[in-house]
Structures are given as structure tokens and as C-alpha cells.
Amino acid sequence: MDNADIVFSTNAGIFSPSVLEVLPSFNAVIVDEAAACTLPSVLIPIVAASKKQGSHTSLIVALVGDPHQLCPVVKTRHRIAKQILEESLLQRLLEKRDDRVKSVFLGVQYRMHPVICRMVSEVFYDAKLRNGSCVYENGCSSSAPYNGHPQKSFGPFVVYHVQRAKCTSSSYLRQRFPENRNVEYAEAVLFLFESLLSSYSGFDFRNRITIISPYQEQISTFGGCD
């Protein structure tokens, strides 16, 4: 490691005694996904670099991340500690607007459909997010047949408000899954799924539909449906 120009490590791993012993002196620290890191974890590589470098030269620190995406995951019942740790160092520096801190906004995206990008840009990025040329070149923006649905039920981005009061308690899913799950949501998703298949029976949907839920129990609800 003595001749290494770049050292890759986790935040905590760089401070282990065995690594510090052979770690060369360097003048820059780059922390990826910094918005998802707690403040103490980001300070670990910075302190490690400072210890090896000494006080003779300045240290460059670059925090790469997006405060609008996932925040640090903090599991504690202490309310104040949770509140402090959930705010990353990157977010603190951006909100402080210190002239000594230089920030760069990467305003071109290459993954999302333009319609989805427009919503994300307006809600989170003050309408500053733009689409890269490859978004149009790779066919991402091409209109699928179901995007032209008369009621606009199936588009690149649609939000549905599921009103629980309109769902019956004697449904197939309610009888099969009496546990504490969002059965009404599952019914709504299945209704949309079946409507999509029946409305566009000539379209090949194989490997094109994904149902995502943040809860494992909700996933198992779908898995038990015929």
C-alpha cells in the first residue's frame, strides 16, 4: 500500500489499526453516498487522513451525494440522538451556505423517463434537472401503447389515491390474509395489473412489470395471489 495513489475503503474500515499502520499520507478524501452517512462516520476517514498527513499541508474533502435521496439510517429510541444523526454532514454544509464550501449540482440525468424526471425536478430540484441526450437516443422516451390510454390510467408516471372505505372486507385477499397488511392496496394494484393486461392483450408484458413494496409482508400478500 506504500506506493498506492488511491485507497478504497469503508468509512470505518480506514481507521482500523492494521490499515492505519500501512496507510500512506494523502491530501484528499472523497466520500461517496455522503448524504446517506451519519456525521460521525464521515468524520472517520477525515480524521484518519489528518492523522497521516499532519498539519503541514491542507486536506481536500469532497462529499458526493444527494440530500434529497436516502438519509442516514439511524436505529435508536433516543429522539434527540436520532434527530442529530439523521442529518448528514453534507446536508448541514449545503444548508449553511458557507462561502468557504464549494458545491456543484449535477443537473443532467440519464436514467429516468422524461415525464418522471419532470416531476422529480419540480418537486425536489427547483425545476433544474435536465435529461441527457441518451435518454432520448436509447428509446426511454418512446411512447408505449398503454401510455395513450383514454383515461390516462397507464402512463410513465401516475399516482393513485386508494380510499380504504370503498373496499369490501369480504374480498378474496381479506379472507386469505387476515393479518395486519394493506390488503386494500394490494387489491387496487391487482385491479390495475389485470386492467393493463386485458386492455392491451396484444402487448408482450413479459419481464416488463414489477410490483414493489417497502414491506416484506405486503410482498408476501402478492406472492400468495393466483
Per-residue pLDDT band for 179 (boundaries 50, 70, 90) equals low
Give me 29's grid cell: 478524501
* 207 phi-psi bin (left φ>0, alpha ψ -120 to 50, beta other): left
Which residue do the cell numbers 405486503 mark? 218
Is a pLDDT exceeding 60 seen at residue 192? Answer: yes
Per-residue pLDDT band for 106 (boundaries 50, 70, 90) equals very high
End-to-end CA distance of the chain: 56
Q: Using alpha carbons only, give the angle 215, 36, 22 rounded to the nearest 5 degrees.
A: 125
Domain ranges of the chain: 13-104, 105-142, 150-223
- Cβ count within 10 A of residue 16: 13
Are 86 and 71 in contact, with CB atoms under 8 Å apart?
yes
Of 113-117, 168-172, 213-217, 222-226, give the range with the top mean pLDDT.
113-117
Domain 13-104 - what CATH class?
alpha beta
Per-residue pLDDT band for 32 (boundaries 50, 70, 90) equals very high
More confident residue, 65 or 206: 65
